[in-house]
Structure 1
Amino acid sequence: MGEIQTPVLGVTVGDPAGIGPEISVATVIRPDLRSQARAVLYADPSIIQRAIAIIGAPARVRIIDDPAEASTEASVVDVIDIGVVADAAQVEFGKVQELAGRAAVGSIETAVTDALAGRTAGIVTAPLNKEAIWATGSQFLGHTEMLQELTGAEKTDTMFVLGELCTFFATRHMSLLQAVQSIKQDLLVGSISRALRALRVFGYQRPRLAVAALNPHGGENGHFGREELDEIIPAIQQINAESDAGVIGPIPADSVWHLGLKGAFDGILSLYHDQGHIATKTYDFDRTVSVTVGLPILRTSVDHGTAFDIAGTGRAAPQTMISAFEAGIRFSARNQAIAEAYPSKQLVSTPPERN
């Protein structure tokens, strides 16, 4: 029998002026993780060499051309050279720089190409800086929008993973007033349907989904607001009538995550951004992992920024990146199901030119 090959995860190291390279290196040199998956960093070798020195890691950089060459040795940091930053001294820590933005974009573009072509089982992304991305002339509003365009995905959703509990969001980047005004039956039917589908794609055979309430005490039968009566309950009833999904709710937001973390549900639909973010991150900030649903590739990510204030100091804690990599390992077996459920409009068959 031949040697069983562990999956290869591509790691985009984010903005090289931030903590991304440091936490990426600190993650991929862990023997416990490398025994479960190989890793390849999409970056400039000089940037990774600098990160190794900053954290004092007993590791060496090895430049490879094909993710299939990735090593299982924890002391080897495999890098696919993106050819942007020749000398790490060109990138100053803690500042928005066009060169750093180009490196971040190059890392993502190359990693996505390999993931679409099946050369990696998915990507794990470190944080980038939007201003640095915009300095390159990019019009993308953020990381997810860039990934959506590069993969040809039609629509994406965010799924937070904390242990076995998944959190979805009916609304995200808008004011609280706009979010409340958006809570309509049609929007919720779509959000619930996509959340149920995502749970199945990511391995939950018969998903148990709860919908959070919007108002205190779930509206107290209309005394504290009518959204539950007029929009949320009808949406749940419609879904359950059409598919016998058994969706539960609305459950008051001050208890639904407590119940979910105790194992009552597989997923919870948060109605607005901070409702789900506060609940999950307060419980365990370091182990709350963001997974982008709707891409034809697996993408897990930290859910924090570049931490410019401590970049280069060696003080950056890698636990969030470790958790994202662990989620990548966990869901790597689902990458074929992900590709089939969310097919790309523009599959890439040839790798980009390596410098």
Structure 2
Amino acid sequence: MRASSIAEARPQSLPLALTCGDPSGIGTELTLVAWSQRKALGLPPFYLLSDPVLVAARARALGLHVPLEAVSRSEAVEVFGRALPVVRLDNRLADRPGEPLADNAAGIVEAIDRAVADTLAGEAAAVVTNPIAKKPLYEAGFRFPGHTEYLAHLAAQASGSEVRPVMMIAGPDLRTIPVTIHVPLRDVPELLSTDLIVETARIAAFDLAQRFGIARPRLAIAGLNPHAGENGAMGAEDEAIVRPAVETLQRAGIDARGPLPADTLFHARARQGYDVAICMYHDQALIPAKALAFDEAVNVTLGLPFVRTSPDHGTAFDIAGKGIARPDSLVAALRMAAALARGHGLAAT
């Protein structure tokens, strides 16, 4: 992909706010491992919003010699060099690796709430979220489809205006955005609209320019059907919905092409021709992104009034507490959050 220009750096003295995620998953151990390798990896300062008792117990269980300090967020940068700063949640968390519990939902949501509040208040540089699982949250009454929608809700509450979030998966060699996200595949054609594609692409173009430092982002718009519909022979949606969206974007001065066949959009030579692929549904975007960089890709939420990144993987309950999870994606998420918060524009290039 075309190299991003790097914006003028701004001094940063604020830490990143890192949420606990689902404590039954791998987020806590990834955080412990990442902090223990902070010097070798050159990680930016961060604090973990969690239950210090759980974090200490998980470190002992994994044989990780990680000193912890329960701190206020204002102490995090000073403490980071000598101990993992943990900002204590009001809600306690049960330490049951591999066993997601609805009883942990209050603490999981509290960590997200406080990370966003800290960032909006200018007390943290950005929000980085460890993975959550939806089912235990739903069982506890959580009414949002996932992280992204809840973050948009919090941002809208704070600003008093509607916030439209866009999920982007950014890896070393590819950025992808799904227009429709966590919906059944059978519902995609009904949910897809020209306006939705245009709105998603506009947000992508704006944030790639403003935060990632790409002066004129190039957008590749995937078709919905095989071979992008072959001029209507394999479905009418590409001509009736996707093509008008591309034409609208072009008239607005956005460098957009499509609809393009998804099966030829992601090979190495094709990727050199665009900065982000706008895909029509979840797996069309996430399969190539994860196939190319499963351990390095980062989930970035565009359209928010703050920077938010997350590892591009789930809670991995099956390996939680076993000490075998790799911290690569969390490390990449921390680095990208810090770079975007500083205005460096560092991302997949």
Normalised to the residue count of structure 2, the TM-score between the two structures is 0.85
Q: Which runs of 5+ in 2 are unaligned?
A: 1-10, 157-161
- Work out the CA distance in 2 between the residues paired with 1:6 and 1:178: 45
Match of 2:146 among 127, 142, 146: 142
Whether 1:277 aligns to 2:281 is: no
- Work out the CA distance in 1 between the residues paired with 2:40 and 2:279: 31
What is the aligned partner in structure 1 of residue 24 from structure 2? 17
Q: Which runs of 5+ in 1 are unaligned?
A: 337-355
Shift of 1:189: 2.1
Matched residue type, 1:227: E
- Work out the CA distance in 2 between the residues paired with 1:278 and 1:264: 19
CA contact (8 A) 2:22 2:131 kept: yes
Whether 1:218 aligns to 2:190 is: no
Whether 1:298 aligns to 2:307 is: yes
- Work out the CA distance in 2 between the residues paired with 1:233 and 1:221: 10
Residues 226, 97 of structure 1: alpha-carbon distance in 2 compared, 3 angstrom cutoff: closer
Whether 1:38 aligns to 2:40 is: no
Shift of 1:140: 3.0
Residues 218, 137 of structure 1: alpha-carbon distance in 2 compared, 3 angstrom cutoff: closer
CA contact (8 A) 1:210 1:268 kept: yes
Residues 73, 81 of structure 1: alpha-carbon distance in 2 compared, 3 angstrom cutoff: closer
- Work out the CA distance in 1 between the residues paired with 2:80 and 2:113: 26
Larger deviation, residues 183-192 vs 274-283: 183-192
- Work out the CA distance in 2 between the residues paired with 1:132 and 1:214: 32
What is the aligned partner in structure 2 of residue 107 from structure 1? 111
Matched residue type, 2:273: A
Match of 1:230 among 240, 244, 249: 240
Match of 1:118 among 114, 119, 122: 122
CA contact (8 A) 2:69 2:79 kept: no
CA contact (8 A) 1:38 1:70 kept: yes
CA contact (8 A) 2:221 2:260 kept: yes
What number of residue pairs does the alignment pair up?
329
Which has the bigger relative contact order, CA under 8 A and spacing at least 6? 2
Residues 165, 91 of structure 1: alpha-carbon distance in 2 compared, 3 angstrom cutoff: same
Match of 1:94 among 98, 101, 112: 98
User: Counterparts of 1:134-213 in structure 2 under 5 Å?
Assistant: 134-152=138-156, 154-163=163-172, 165-203=174-212, 204-213=214-223
Give the share of equivalent positions with the same residue, in percent.
Answer: 32
Structure 1 stretches of 4+ with a deviation exceeding 3 A read 4-7, 32-36, 71-75, 134-138, 181-184, 259-262
